Structure 1
Amino acid sequence: MTTILLLLISLSFITREQNNPELLHQAAQLEALPESWRDYFQEQSRRQDMK
């Protein structure tokens, strides 16, 4: 599979699992994502950690 396809599959899974702070944290670390996306996932991860 191409990198982009793997990335899309991963993002699809992550967005379905938005209550999983570990997955959100991992998404925030993906350098292939635009910085704004990484920031979004990082913020979602922090919110889940505070629950």
Structure 2
Amino acid sequence: DPREKERRIKTKKNGLYALREMKEKRYGRCVVVLILIIKHDWRYQVPP
């Protein structure tokens, strides 16, 4: 299923973004991204 694959790529990208935010001690945004990953609501794309 191509949609499933696309979602996995987005999940990975957003996960990496969350980790980077965590390293820079910006926990607020990191938590938001993690919640989105859990909910799989990809209408919201995190900025690069």
TM-score by length of 2: 0.49
TM-score by length of 1: 0.47
More RCO (CA 8 Å, sep 6+): 2
